[in-house]
Structures are given as structure tokens and as C-alpha cells.
A and B are shown apart, each in its own frame.
Chain A
Amino acid sequence: RKEVEQDPGPFNVPEGATVAFNCTYSNSASQSFFWYRQDCRKEPKLLMSVYSSGNEDGRFTAQLNRASQYISLLIRDSKLSDSATYLCVVTSGNTPLVFGKGTRLSVIA
């Protein structure tokens, strides 16, 4: 089983739609969780950290379920500019970041 698994997509959604991505991780000792966004041929950019209580940043909501070892990202009111690959990232305190393969999102006009 891979350490971090994501549905690769692509998710093709119309503008204004709500879309959710899930990510599962295998290391129960994992402590820190992030979502990164990566545009084509660019570097990953930090979108948001994921906290146990769940957190929201504008149209983006991240949730963590430690018991089931999964993380989710919800995007409301999708914009064309949200089209990108979304990478789930997991780490425990003294280990490097472990990335999923990413989920591709295409928002269509």
C-alpha cells in the first residue's frame, strides 16, 4: 500500500460547482498534513495546512479524520483559475514530506 493515496482524476466540473478530493495515508504516526496546488510545469505551492478541527480559507475547506486516516479538500463555487493538480502531503515530526500523486481538476466554463 502506498503511503499517501489520491484519486488521480481528472475531475471535470463546471464553473460554480462544488468538488471534493480525498486522500488516505498509511502511517498512523503522521502529524502534519497539507494540501498543495501545482500548475502545469510549475512548482507545488502551499494551499493550506490541515488541522484536526478542520479549517477553512475562503472557498476551500480542509478536513482531517485521524481515525480513518484520511484528509479531504472541498472547493466551493469553482473558478476557472482553480484548474490545477492538488497534492496531498503528509509528514510525521522528523520525517520528510510524503506526497500523493495528485488529483487533477479541470473547471470548465
Chain B
Amino acid sequence: DTGVSQDPRHKITKRGQNVTFRCDPISEHNRLYWYRQTLGQGPEFLTYFQNEAQLEKSRLLSDRFSAERPKGSFSTLEIQRTEQGDSAMYLCASSLGPEGYRPYFGPGTRLTVT
């Protein structure tokens, strides 16, 4: 399967714990995006990378959130001191960009904070 993959698919954690998610984009895609989606809402932008450079971060990305893409391939999203409001689906997408704007999404990581 050469699509976008994410790991883990599901994560249940207790409030206050740290969690880290991984995204592996389609191999030739240089843009990688992180989105968050809650029930009944469209995906909300968190951050994106062009190769290893983080180009933009949403104001939704509080200082408890950090994302990296150290070698311009896979990316990680870490949430420190999780809160119940962090419970959501975390979606990763990749694209050839900016010329190739056809982003493809991974299956997502569903986070539940208890």
C-alpha cells in the first residue's frame, strides 16, 4: 500500500499524559499536513510542512502541541499534558506542492482522553 499511513489508529490515554502520533506520507510528496476533526465538524488545520520546514502553524496549535518532520519524510505530532478537549481524530495528509494540489489523507489516529 503506497498511500498515507498513520500510527497508531486508536489511542486511549489519561488526562495529563503525553502522546505521539506518526504519519508516513506518500513517498514523493513534499508537503505534509496535520488536521484535527471532531464529530460533526470539518477537518481543522493544525500545521504543515514543505519538506522538513514547518511553514505554518494554526493558532489551534497550543504550546502543548509540537510537530516535526526531521528528514522531510515521516512526521510526528506530540501532545503534552493531554486534556479531554484534545479528544478528536488527528488526520495527516500529503501532496505534491504547491504545484500538485491533490492532497491525500491517511486513515487518521483517533485519540480519546479520559
Contacts and interface: CB of A to CB of B under 8 A. Distances in A.
Instruction: Bin chain B's interface residue count.
Output: 20 to 34
Contacts of A34: 101-102
Contacts of A100: 42
Contacts, number: 47
B108 interface: yes
A23 B85 CA distance: 29
A96 B107 contact: no
A12 B105 CA distance: 27
**Which of B43, B102, B105 has the largest count of A CB atoms less than 10 A from its CB?**
B43
B7 to A, nearest CB: 14
Interface of A: 4, 32, 34, 41-46, 49, 87, 91, 93-102
A49 B102 CA distance: 8
Given A43-B105, A44-B43, A46-B103, 18 more contacts: A4-B42, A41-B110, A42-B107, A44-B91, A45-B105, A87-B43, A93-B98, A97-B35, A97-B43, A97-B45, A97-B93, A97-B103, A98-B45, A99-B42, A99-B44, A100-B42, A101-B40, A102-B42
